[in-house]
């Protein structure tokens, strides 16, 4: 018997969370071993570790409590890794030396795999006077380019990628350039961007008033607030960035407003954090807790939920003491405030089991009820920890009770805190749970609606054959087990069929009892009007949300992965094809047969002369015509320089293999152009090229633009030449940069691959 509800769950465990030797030999022989490893590690800081190990194991068992991925993968491995998912770094000083000190700290944090957030509002605007230097300031965006290059370099060195979030205040003089930065699809690829929107700005937008753009008390420009708001909205409408963070609301609602000011968030936005603050995340799996699902009276027992929450809070508090930190300032910040973020996953599935339609007023009310219960149980559990182990070091009872969410908390909870203190300054957050939700049996992710009730993926077996495997949503599978082939009721809705304002309703209902923030994507139809799109953000502001992230399919961001076909089918029958190897590996992953090679192909040969190299490199790129469109099919790279022989042959084979799979292969150009040579690049035709591989990427890009495959340098596809290639009638998501599948979808504020679990946010 296996504990896994679906094959994909076991494969995700094996790929992401199973403890293995360096050579890949498993140490965790079963998922029970993984639970035991985590329970033992987090109980090790207790006075009675054996007692708490058993209790922690009980919480982890059957995927009831799901620690964040870094805890699940790293706890108990004795490896020098951080168990924290992400960090907000220190305030960037407005000086050259200070800026590059911060860059060094960012590199050290990312080297351990942590995502980072930064507020770039503290850097003087472009053109501002720099005392003592005969030049004007280059502005914050130029330094963001440096951060972006650093992140690419860390990736090229083979380290696990950590995402970055950049924020900028809505009154910074360079905010308009910040808003439009992602219009260039090749720029700031390692960043998510969000504008810090203040309450005075929103009032000016509503009143159609003027708005000053200023730095250090000097007004550089005055604009119409509504014009600036429309620029933010248009950029987000066109290419999904920047996001919007209601920063004044975040600071007013912060339990620690008396000792800290927040100006940035982690990459997915659910953790607004002070300088050197860290994300410590975990989720209660609501889908596993519903009694008598799909029957009258289905519900989550309060006592059962309270007990599980209390164990989760204790486990998360212990992580603060058990984890490594990349920087001493991060360790000090975590110890002083002991901030944690307990959230939920499987909410949509739990609502389905109770017969509630996600997005309805009834579902929103039930969501608020559950999250208030979790908030109460979390605070009371933290009070009990304070009795036993002491309150967090910076606790001040009167100031704490007069700030943030504590103002609306129940009187008995407030009195308990006043009497005994509290162990953790903040306790709740809704984190992205895409991969751990798959690991838990494909439960719905976070507080998101179900994305697809079922899809099919092709799995390459070790003997070379391929099998098809259906991946079914957890609640849908439970319905099938209970009612067989009975048609799904009308309340089974998904992300594609929901109105945007229904998404907002659910986010607002959840936010009321969440200390930090929420990672959520509001899916908008491609044909939503611009005015209707703006209404989504205004509704999010008016209903108490702390931020807003939308996703509207378009030519820049690509389509949301769709599960519909040309034929009308029920949600449970509609497939989308994604693939993965049977043992969970990703070394050979594809969606279709490679394209067959015709007898003859048309192509071009290019000569690349790299400075200081005796021999030129010759690139031949051959094309194929598919569906009336010309697309790259193969590459040959040759040079008389024998030093280049091995890697040019390898590159030839790998790029050609990618091209022959079809799809959006523009990422090949992007990845090659991102490679930096630590020995230095070269100036070629007046342009600095960071490496010879980047130069090859530039030549391939030039060819793809000339043949009409790409719109232009640094831009995406000119048309969709993938039609009729991969064997799908349905629209597809963007190609995954990790596995190449057309499975990228926006989930919880982050582009995520439903096939291999790759996430833009690390």
- Calpha distance 81→715 (Å, rounded): 37
- Calpha distance 319→53 (Å, rounded): 14
Choosing from 53, 270, 333, 539, which is the catalytic residue? 270
Choosing from 86, 268, 279, 750, which is the catalytic residue? 268
SS3 string, 631-642, reads EEEEEEEEECCH
Is 268 among the residues known to form the active site? yes
Q: Left, alpha or beta for 593 (phi > 0: left; psi -120 to 50: alpha)?
A: beta
Is 750 among the residues known to form the active site? no
Other Cβ atoms closer than 10 A to 451: 25
Q: What is the DSSP letter of 223?
A: E
SS3 string, 571-637, reads CCCCCCEEEEECCCCCCCCCCCCCCCCCCCCEEEEEEECCCCCCCCEEEEEEEEEECCEEEEEEEEE
Q: What is the CA radius of gyration of the chain?
A: 26
Helices (H), 355-451: 361-389, 397-401, 411-420, 434-439
- Calpha distance 557→353 (Å, rounded): 34
Is 151 among the residues known to form the active site? no
3-class DSSP state of 490:
coil
Identify whether the C-beta of residue 72 lies closer than 8 Å to the C-beta of residue 9. no
Identify whether the C-beta of residue 709 lies closer than 8 Å to the C-beta of residue 717. yes
List of residues 6+ apart from 428 with CB closer than 8 A: 341, 342, 343, 371, 374, 375, 378, 513, 514, 515, 516
Q: Which parts of 128-215 are beta strand (E)?
A: 164-169, 191-197, 210-215
CB burial readout 532-567, b (16+ within 10 A) else e: ebbebbbbbbeeebbbbbbbbbebbbbbbbbbbeee
Burial of residue 568 (number of CB atoms within 10 Å: 0-12, 13-18, 19+): exposed
Choosing from 254, 266, 494, 523, which is the catalytic residue? 266
Residues annotated catalytic, as ranges: 266, 268, 270
């Amino acid at each position: 018997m296996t504990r896994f509800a679906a094959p994909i769950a076991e494969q995700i465990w094996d790929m992401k969370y199973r403890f293995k030797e360096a050579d890949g030999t498993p140490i965790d022989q079963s998922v029970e071993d993984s639970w035991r490893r985590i329970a033992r590690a987090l109980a090790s800081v207790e006075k009675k570790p054996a007692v708490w190990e058993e209790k922690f194991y009980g919480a982890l068992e059957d995927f009831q409590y799901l620690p964040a991925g870094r805890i699940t993968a790293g706890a108990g491995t004795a490896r020098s890794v951080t168990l924290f998912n992400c960090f907000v770094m220190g305030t960037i000083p407005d000086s050259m030396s200070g800026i590059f000190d911060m860059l060094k700290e960012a590199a050290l944090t990312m080297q351990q795999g942590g995502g980072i957030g930064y507020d770039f509002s503290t850097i003087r605007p472009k053109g501002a006077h720099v005392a003592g230097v005969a030049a004007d300031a280059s502005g914050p965006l130029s330094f963001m380019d440096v951060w972006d290059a650093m992140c690419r370099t860390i990736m090229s060195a083979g380290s696990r990628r950590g995402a970055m979030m950049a924020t900028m205040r809505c009154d910074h003089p360079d905010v308009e350039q910040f808003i439009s930065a992602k219009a260039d699809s090749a720029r700031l690829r390692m960043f998510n961007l969000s504008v810090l929107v203040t309450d005075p700005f929103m009032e000016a937008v509503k009143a159609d008033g003027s708005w000053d753009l200023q730095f250090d008390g000097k007004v550089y420009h005055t604009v119409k607030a509504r014009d600036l708001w429309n620029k933010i909205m248009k950029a987000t409408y066109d290419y999904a960035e920047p996001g919007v963070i209601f920063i004044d609301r975040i600071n007013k609602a912060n339990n620690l407003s008396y000792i800290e000011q927040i100006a940035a968030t982690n990459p997915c936005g659910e953790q607004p954090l002070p300088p050197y603050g860290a994300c410590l995340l975990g989720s209660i799996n609501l889908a596993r807790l519903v009694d008598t699902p799909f029957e009258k009276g289905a519900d989550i027992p309060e006592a059962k939920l309270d007990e599980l929450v209390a164990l989760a809070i204790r486990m998360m508090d212990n992580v603060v003491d058990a984890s490594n930190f990349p920087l001493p300032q991060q360790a000090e910040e975590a110890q002083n405030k002991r901030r944690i973020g307990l959230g939920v996953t499987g909410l949509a599935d739990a609502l389905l089991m109770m017969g509630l339609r996600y997005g309805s007023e009834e579902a929103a009310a039930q969501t608020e009820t559950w999250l208030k219960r979790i908030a109460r149980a979390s605070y009371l559990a933290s009070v009990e920890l304070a009795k036993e182990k002491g309150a967090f070091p910076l606790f001040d009872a009167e100031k704490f009770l007069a700030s943030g969410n504590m103002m609306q908390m129940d009187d008995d909870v407030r009195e308990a805190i006043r009497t005994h203190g509290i162990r953790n300054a903040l306790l709740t957050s809704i984190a992205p749970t895409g991969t751990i939700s798959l690991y838990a049996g494909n439960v719905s992710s976070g507080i998101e609606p179900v994305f697809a009730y079922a899809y099919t993926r092709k799995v390459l077996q070790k003997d070379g054959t391929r099998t098809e495997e259906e991946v079914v949503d957890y609640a849908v599978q439970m319905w099938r087990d209970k009612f067989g082939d009975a048609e799904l009721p009308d309340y089974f809705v998904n992300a594609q069929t929901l109105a945007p304002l229904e998404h907002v309703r659910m986010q607002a209902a959840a936010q009321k009892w969440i200390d930090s923030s929420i990672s959520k994507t509001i899916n908008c139809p491609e044909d939503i009007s611009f005015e209707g799109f703006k209404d989504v953000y205004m509704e999010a502001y008016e209903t108490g949300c702390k931020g807003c992230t939308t996703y509207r399919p378009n030519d820049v961001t690509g389509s949301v992965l769709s599960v519909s076909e040309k034929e009308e089918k029920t949600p449970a029958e509609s497939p989308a094809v994604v693939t993965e190897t049977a043992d969970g590996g990703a070394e050979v992953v594809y969606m279709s047969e490679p394209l067959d090679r015709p007898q003859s192909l048309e192509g071009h040969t290019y000569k690349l002369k790299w400075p200081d190299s005796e021999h030129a490199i010759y690139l031949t790129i051959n094309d194929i015509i598919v569906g009336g469109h010309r697309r790259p099919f193969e590459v040959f790279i040759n040079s008389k320089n024998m030093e280049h022989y091995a890697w040019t042959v390898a590159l030839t084979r790998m790029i050609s293999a990618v091209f022959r799979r079809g799809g959006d292969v523009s990422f090949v150009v992007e990845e090659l152009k991102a490679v930096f040579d630590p020995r230095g690049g070269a100036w070629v035709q007046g342009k600095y090229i960071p490496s010879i591989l980047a130069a090859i990427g530039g030549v391939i890009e030039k060819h793809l633009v000339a043949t009409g495959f790409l719109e232009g340098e640094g831009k995406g596809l000119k048309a969709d030449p993938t039609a009729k290639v991969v064997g799908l009638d349905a629209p597809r998501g963007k190609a995954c940069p990790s596995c190449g599948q057309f499975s990228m979808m926006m989930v919880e504020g982050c582009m995520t691959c439903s096939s291999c679990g790759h996430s833009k946010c690390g």
